[in-house]
Amino acid sequence: MQPFVIHKGRAATIMLNNIDTDIIIPKQYLKRIERTGFGEFLFDEWRYNDDRTLNPNFELNKQSNNDVSILITGENFGCGSSREHAPWALTDYGFKVIIAGSFADIFYNNAFKNGLLPIRLDKKSRDELSLLSKNAELTVDLENEKVIVGSQEFSFSVEKPLKNKLLLGLDDISLTLKHEDKILAYEAAAK
């Protein structure tokens, strides 16, 4: 996993509440175990018409939202079934940051495990960011816990252990491997 310190990118807004994991990545696409290849199915029911052509009315399909890496959205993002495929689809599409009012607990933790930064901001701040981001790039500074656009700053907070994992680019496996010498010593003694 790559360290996440500062991210600069453009934002798209889907200001809906209760976007569940089946909307993020529908169950029919969960047949693989690789973490890649899910981006094309992100928000599948919204992005595509029945004939698999792009729905021109969906926010991510608009020309102005090519190459977005930040999503501004509503409350309770990532609710529903616990599937790690949801952050996989978001990151495979190119998202690095999700800004919501709140997150489902399992999605929130899975996001950190996959290098995706979930930020909680109140509705007023999200509305302002949404407007400001139409003509400007956002800077997300994890170390200082700020989203910056122009001269405006929006503060957020992240639990220190989760923040440190992202800052250092550590997932659960790499955290375990930091103790490899102790693991090998234990295994040798157990023989």
H-only helix segments in 25-154 = 44-47, 85-93, 105-113, 123-132
Q: Which amino acid is at 122?
A: D
| Record: fold of 6-190 | Aconitase; domain 4 (3.20.19)
Domain residue spans of the chain:
6-190
Burial class (CB within 10 angstroms; exposed 0-12, middle 13-18, buried 19+) of 122? exposed
Res. 64 pLDDT band, cuts 50 70 90: confident
User: What is the pLDDT at residue 120?
Assistant: 98
Tokens of 126: 């999200």
Q: pLDDT: is 165 or 135 the higher one?
A: 165
Nearest-angstrom CA–CA distance, 123 and 147: 14
